[in-house]
Structure 1
């Protein structure tokens, strides 16, 4: 969207530089990347950034007004985890980059989540691509790397020894995001542990290191509930719903509380109208809405073309929303003169004693497919996959 930066990047781009970028990230992390990394960042105007900031500030202010009683309605009773917290440690707010009826480029809220994402990877990626394309240095968004890592440590490790803090995941070596786990270990000195390897003694949890059991005092939780339920035969010594003597970063209940569940409760010009399925009014045209399950990730279960017949077959209507469709704008030109669409995720960390969360960085997903998700991209396309946005200064 900023033509001078787009022109310069496209002129400087080469497959050799892209390969160098991938090799740099793999070398710094010590592993391969399981998801597609886009060849290009996107460039967004100061005006668009102001729109994003205004929308995020409004959404955060509204989130803070919701009572605990109201938010707890989102938590399935069989998945309630004891020792809830007053606020989440993470907040990620996703916007489609769209055009309105006047042709103005605007953000449109797609979803939000109080769940961690690629905090370590995005910092490493921004640094790597800025070294390969030096003109990006002047556009860098995030705080200096030492301060970034320190902030991450304060939120995740806190005052504990890194040895007593783990990143928890299901079969982490099989996850597409494992490169972020490796970088998190590198940044914070903590260990990534599979949920099947955790030992339980009464209320305490342990993991094994060099033949010794190490007590776990804080869990940086990367386990997604819907994935956990896809492994009904998973053998573990503890359940999330157990009463445990650990600190969750962030508490698993926030996975449900800050989710699509609150979309119908939010109001802003950049928040498309949403309804719980059971509350969808007859005055609305179903063709203008997309059907989404409340608690799924990576586009799972989304129906872009719901029909009355499809809705009638859904028994648990309280677990679905209908969200007004938005039109992603093909704005980001590749070296072949073709255009990609994108959405941007604003990445926040929220210290326990802070009034508001701190914006750390952003994550962009680019596509030429109908759904803006890295899983739905054509394999032979370019300017698709995970990326980052640089803003006009």
Structure 2
């Protein structure tokens, strides 16, 4: 995206440097890095960053209004409603594609958003390790809003832990040591000191939750929640039974509260009017299907990691959908194969991390991850036979 920097990076790149980078990264938690890391970061000029931030801020304007909770009440499936909801999510992730507009110019287009955590800790190690092996241009950083590594981690710690004793804060997941993102759980423990706990390990006594820490029953006061209900419902009956604690009144603080996974999601897109947010409608609200269906994509509201998305959509596909109220139809965006690599160019998607500090009126942009692709879908699971693809990060021009 910055031709001079891209040319310089590619000319200096060697497979030996990349292999050394991957070896170092893999050895942080040996045997646990299960997704591909791309050969390059994405260099983002200031103007492009500002366009993404403009879209994010317009969405934050909407969700910051008290009326948004009433507006988004139907986003939460009734059977999954969790009591004691906060007025806002502590974390938001905004996913943008780098796209061509009708004039052939590069611009961001919002693909999705989630009121849910991402790889907040792991990305620190990715950037640190990359910088050991590759030269970074001056005045570029993976952090936003004037943050650096130290202040970023201090903010993350303040949001997740606040002033609670660290032993009373847990990261909660389903079978965490089997998750492909488990390196982030281990990084969170290393950087913040909180234990990762499987939902099956929780002990409930009345409104209180406990877990065993070094064999000692320990109260849980704050839960850094990584459980996605869509994943929960694919588990055994025993695990699903343990998952019913979400619908119970508990003396815990959720970080973020699970309801925000639904309130701030694909469900929000039809309410947004912004040049960098593709036109989106609820499928059941469409009176007449677009005649140019090839320019649209259909997505289920309640899924994750791209599952269930129909890219080359037909009328028959839509007729086959039994619950159109749980789907959206979105104007397809033209991803730009803008990242020059050996062989074919790569497309890129950028995820901006927003953190909402306790007591603040609004969240702030903090850091990022990126994903490079040479296939139809962006994501590490869809490009396994390619190189110069996979997980990465952006370096933003200051």
Give the TM-score normalised by the residue count of structure 1.
0.96
Asked if 1:39 corresponds to 2:44, the answer is no
Unaligned ranges ≥5, structure 1: none
Offset from partner CA, 1:288-324 (integer Å, 9 cap, x none): 2101000211110000122222222222111000000
Residue of structure 2 in register with 1:209 after alignment: 213
Distance in 2, Cα, partners of 1:283 & 1:72: 26
Residue of structure 1 in register with 2:21 after alignment: 21
Asked if 1:356 corresponds to 2:357, the answer is no
Offset from partner CA, 1:173-196 (integer Å, 9 cap, x none): 111111111110011100001111
SS across alignment from 1:248 = strand
Aligned counterpart for 1:382 among listed residues 383, 387, 395: 387
Asked if 1:332 corresponds to 2:339, the answer is yes
Distance in 2, Cα, partners of 1:251 & 1:388: 27
SS across alignment from 2:352 = strand
Distance in 1, Cα, partners of 2:131 & 2:139: 9
Asked if 1:2 corresponds to 2:9, the answer is no
Map 1:56-71 to 2 at 5 A.
56-65=56-65, 66-71=67-72
Distance in 2, Cα, partners of 1:11 & 1:59: 39
Aligned counterpart for 2:347 among listed residues 341, 348, 355: 341
Distance in 2, Cα, partners of 1:252 & 1:17: 41
1:141 Cα deviation after fit? 3.1
Distance in 2, Cα, partners of 1:255 & 1:45: 31
Residue of structure 2 in register with 1:128 after alignment: 129
Map 1:202-241 to 2 at 5 A.
202-235=206-239, 237=242, 239-241=245-247
Residue of structure 1 in register with 2:77 after alignment: 76
- Structure 1 outlier segments of 4+, above 6 Å: none
Give the TM-score normalised by the residue count of structure 2.
0.94
Residue of structure 2 in register with 1:86 after alignment: 87
Offset from partner CA, 1:306-362 (integer Å, 9 cap, x none): 22222222221110000000110101111x242000111111111231111121111
Asked if 1:287 corresponds to 2:294, the answer is yes
**RMSD value over aligned CA atoms?**
1.5
SS across alignment from 1:304 = coil
Contact kept? 2:142, 2:393, Cα under 8 Å = no
Asked if 1:111 corresponds to 2:112, the answer is yes
